[in-house]
Structure 1
Amino acid sequence: MVVATIDISPFANPAAHDDAARARAAADWDRAMSDVGFAVVAGHGVAPEVVGALRSAAHEFFERSAEAKAAYCHGPYGNPLGGYTGIGTEAVSRTRDTHGGDGGRSAGASAAAPPDLVESFIFKPASPAAAPTCLDKPASTYHSELLRVLGCLHQLTAAALSLPADYFERFYSPHAEVSLRLAYYPALSASEQASSAVRYGEHTDYTGFTLLSQDESDLGEEGA
């Protein structure tokens, strides 16, 4: 399986490209989504400084004590306020409907699936619950940039499907409801490493496109 890299700059920076370039990008996107279902996105225009600022802020938050992070837990994972979820709490393979809860298990999911070995912070810009000061501005900036990229992908998809350019906008309004999820994978204890739990279980996302930021410095076993 070959994962295509799609240059979306004809949509991210339309003034610098013509309709022919947009048509080529749309054809590439159509093939990638039809054949594989995901792709590496290039030419999005998100500045490395924006990504770096959020990554630094996220590390600052997740490296706090468990008690300090728990102050930002506003309810079960998936609650409307967002906030922090501790390690060993959610189990996304159990359900598609409640995203880690106890009800609505998806077909084939094990009721006994252990909780995932991941910590999360869900940033919602319109949430009345305050975000940690270290995350507030970097997350807001990054969230805004990702909404812009999401808009480019919607236009790209519309072009691939011969739909009006603004076709998908109505399904993503208001934009404030689009969440930013920060996932943190801390070092595991010996018992956690020996368990059957996974870092993040198999699941189905539920809001159209999911945009993932690759950590170029995290090579895992490849860097050993």
Structure 2
Amino acid sequence: MNCLQTWPEPIVRVQSLVESGIRKLPNRYIKPPNQRPQTTTLLNPLQEDINIPVISLQDLFTGDESLRKATMASISSACSEWGFFQVVNHGVDPELMKRVRDTWHEFFELPVEAKQLYANSPDTYEGYGSRLGVEKGALLDWSDYFFLHFMPLSLRKQEKWPSIPNSCRTLITEYGNEMVRLCGTLMKILSLNLGLEEDHLQKALGGENNDIGACLRVNFYPKCPQPDLTLGLSSHSDPGGITLLLPDENVPGLQVRRGNNWITVKPVPNSFIVNIGDQIQVLSNAIYKSVEHRVIVNSEKDRVSLALFFNPKSDLIIEPLKQLVTKGRPAMYPAMTFNEYRLYVRMKGPCGKSQLESLKSLRS
């Protein structure tokens, strides 16, 4: 892990670039023509009517079994066909969602000197950051972020969390607990939909919540002078289990790959965006699929989103579940720990689905 101790070049805060008044993007942020939003986004006007599935979880908790099964079927279809869906009526207080989003807006509005107290390094990424990956000379994304560990408790270090605004640490704890609870509910549904016992996927990721990994990345995408030339976050699939994203309802930015096109997600009020990570694709033997996604930026408005990653225990071996391996559907991926898998991501940064696809060659 020595290669992950320091960043390869001096760190530049994207927010500071904007505040300096620049009108042209530095070359480090300009994407190749085939990766720029205006050349790869679906231009068909019918795209305005396309969105990822929106699913209400309310019927999961009623006594009507037919409604419960219909909701579960909708989730199963979204996991296999889209890899993404939005959930509403999920049981998380909308006021909590608003407060935590507003608090992180306040953090990123602090002077850079106050935020620099939390500057991170690539060994854990925990803290205030502005790049992913340690490849020297790599093209960079137009974003800053704050990354922190929430679970397991042995990695939770609240002294590394922002102390300003004053409510931040308390809100992170309250919000994190709600996210872990909601992830647990979704994992049960995914397990049952795969024909497994309801706790099977949870156990496959490490068992109890105290062993499973959960981390939060708060993304800050400053307004950009040339948004048609760059991305807030390059195309990637999430390396972990599942992700819960609290989007910015006022500034859309998330795009999901659908075939050869990019669909801009339209956030529904008080919703979470759920997406399947690479480890669930491996465990399900590709019945459920992680999907490439990216973030575009805006010329007039900043954008904040919160991503809670629900991940396997770091040293746990992950491989296709034997119940989902058959003669007609042999195991598609080799056994590998989550630590081994995400090391690639930490070194290279976002790289589409190249890591997961490369594992298939190890089986042949």
**What band does the TM-score fall into relative to the shorter chain?**
0.7 to 0.9
Aligned to 2:245: 212
When the two chains are superposed, the root-mean-square deviation of aligned CA atoms in Å is 2.7
| Match runs of 1:1-224 below 5 Å | 3-11=52-60, 14=61, 16-76=62-122, 79=124, 82-86=126-130, 89-90=131-132, 100-102=133-135, 113-125=138-150, 126-127=156-157, 129-133=159-163, 134=165, 135-170=168-203, 171-172=205-206, 173-174=209-210, 177-188=213-224, 190=225, 193=226, 196-218=229-251
Q: CA deviation at 1:213?
A: 1.4
Check the 8 A contact 2:56/2:90 in 1, yes or no.
yes
Instruction: Tell me, yes or no, if the aligned pair for 2:143 and 2:233 is still in contact at 8 Å.
Output: yes
Query: Compared with structure 1, are the counterparts of its residues 84 and 17 closer, same or farther at alpha carbon in structure 2 (3 Å cutoff)?
Result: farther
Q: CA deviation at 1:219?
A: 5.0
Alpha carbons of 1:177 and 1:127: their partners in 2 closer, same or farther (altered >3 Å)?
farther
C-alpha displacement at 1:10, in angstroms? 3.9
Write out the 4+ residue segments of structure 1 that deviate beyond 6 Å after TM superposition: none
Please give the alpha-carbon distance, in whole angstroms, between the structure 1 residues aligned to 2:108 and 2:139: 22
Specify whether residues 194 and 55 from structure 1 end up closer, same or farther in structure 2 by C-alpha distance, changes over 3 A only: closer
Q: How many residues align?
A: 196
Aligned partners of 2:141 and 2:233 also within 8 Å:
yes
In 1, distance between residues paired with 2:55 and 2:91?
13
TM-score (norm 1): 0.76
- Amino acid of the residue matched to residue 210 of structure 2? P
- 1:79 aligned partner, one-letter code: T
> Secondary structure at 2:217's aligned position in 1?
strand
Cα distance between partner residues in 1 of 2:111 and 2:105: 12
d(CA) in 2 for partners of 1:181, 1:217: 19
Offset, 1:176:
6.7
Distance in 2, matches of 1:202 and 1:187, equals 19
Distance 1:180 1:120 in 2: 10
In structure 1, what is the Cα distance between the partners aligned to 2:86 and 2:228?
A: 32
Tell me how far apart the structure 2 counterparts of residues 152 and 62 of structure 1 sit (CA, whole Å).
32
Aligned partners of 2:145, 2:161: CA distance in 1, in Å? Answer: 13
- Deviations 1:123-147 (CA, angstroms, capped at 9, x unpaired): 3231264311222111111111111
The CA deviation at 1:45 is: 1.1
CA distance in 1, matches of 2:245, 2:158: 26
Cα distance in structure 1, aligned partners of 2:228 and 2:84: 30
Give the 3 Å change call, closer, same or farther, for CA 217–2 of structure 1 in structure 2.
closer
2-side partners of 1:176 and 1:71: how far apart? Answer: 28
Question: Residues 143 and 20 (structure 1 numbering): CA distance in 2 closer, same or farther, change over 3 Å?
Answer: same
Specify the structure having the higher radius of gyration (Cα): 2
Structure 2 residue ranges without an equivalent (≥5): 1-49, 151-155, 254-297, 302-364
In 2, the alpha carbon distance for the partners of 1:20 and 1:158 equals 18
Change (3 A) 1:194 1:9: closer
Q: Secondary structure at the match of 1:40?
A: strand
- Alignment CA distance shift 1:112-1:196 (3 Å): farther
